Every structure is written in structure tokens, then in C-alpha cells.
Amino acid sequence: MAGLRATTAEETRALGARLAALLAPGDLVVLSGPLGAGKTTMVQGIAEGLKVRGPITSPTFVIARVHPSLSGGPALVHVDAYRLGGTLEVDDLDLDASLEESVTVVEWGEGLVEGLSEERLEVHVERGAEDEERRVRVTGVGPRWSGLSLT
């Protein structure tokens, strides 16, 4: 487990870009944290690091967006599970159809998408004491992430 801190939105995006450097096709990232914690800002950094087509905005109303690679790398599948009522609605999205060739990042996915992969990164973002400060906890699940270190 790695605990990180960002004091600005730019630093939160930079943390996302650092995560992107670790990601490969087939990886699942589950983002959790309260409303306004910086989950979408983190995804913006992941997108920058993966060099995918943007802009990256919260897909709350469309549920999922696919951002193709601009550099021959994996596409980014960005999902917002906030409005989903359960795992049956997750199944309806067919995320497993593109999981192997894309990097899939799911905001609000905790408790809903873990069944998509036995190996995943769980990223929890929360507000810190200061206005822009964010505390980020990254936990690797499965053998792929056993030696995870972001510090």
C-alpha cells in the first residue's frame, strides 16, 4: 500500500500520470472517495500519462467513455459508476469486452467492479486538511501488483 499527498490539482494530475506509467492493457483501476475529492482530476493525469485523446470530464451522465490512444498505447475506458444501481447494471456495460486491450478506470466502482479482475489497483482519494490538499491511498490487489511502490 502506498500513501501519497497532493497539495494542488496539478499535483493530483501528476500522481495520475505516475500511475499511468505503471499501467498496461488489461489493467483495472478502481477509484473511490467522496464527492469532490479529485477522482476525475486523477483520471485526467492518468489520461495524460497514457497519451489518450481528451478532454477528460466526468462521464456521470453517459456512464462510460472510451478515449483512444494518440501514441499506439492502450485506450482508456473511463467509467463513472455513481448512478449505477448494482452489479447487474455494471454487467450491462460489457466492460469485460474491452478490458484486455484497454486500461479501465472506474470512478465510484468500489463494491461494484471488483469481479471484473482479480488483479487491480484500488485508489482512494480524499480531501486533506487544506483546501486543495488530497490524500491518496493506492493498494495493489493480486500478483501483478505485489511489489507496488509509488513513493
Domain of residue 109: give its range.
2-144
Confirm whether 149 is domain-assigned: no
**Assessment of whether the complete model's pTM goes beyond 0.85:** yes
Residues whose CB is less than 8 angstroms from the CB of residue 87 and which lie 6 or more positions away in sequence, other chains included = 112, 115
Confirm whether 151 is domain-assigned: no
Q: Alpha carbon of 110 to those of 29, 107, 131: distances in Å? A: 10, 8, 25
Q: What is the pLDDT of residues 135-145, one digit of tens each?
A: 999 999 999 99
Q: What is the CATH number of the domain that holds 57?
A: 3.40.50.300
141 neighbors 119 (Cβ within 8 angstroms): yes
Q: What is the pLDDT of residues 22-39, one digit of tens each?
A: 999 999 999 999 988 999
Q: Which of the two residues, 90 and 72, has the higher pLDDT score?
A: 72
Domain count within the chain: 1
47 alpha-carbon distance from chain centroid: 9
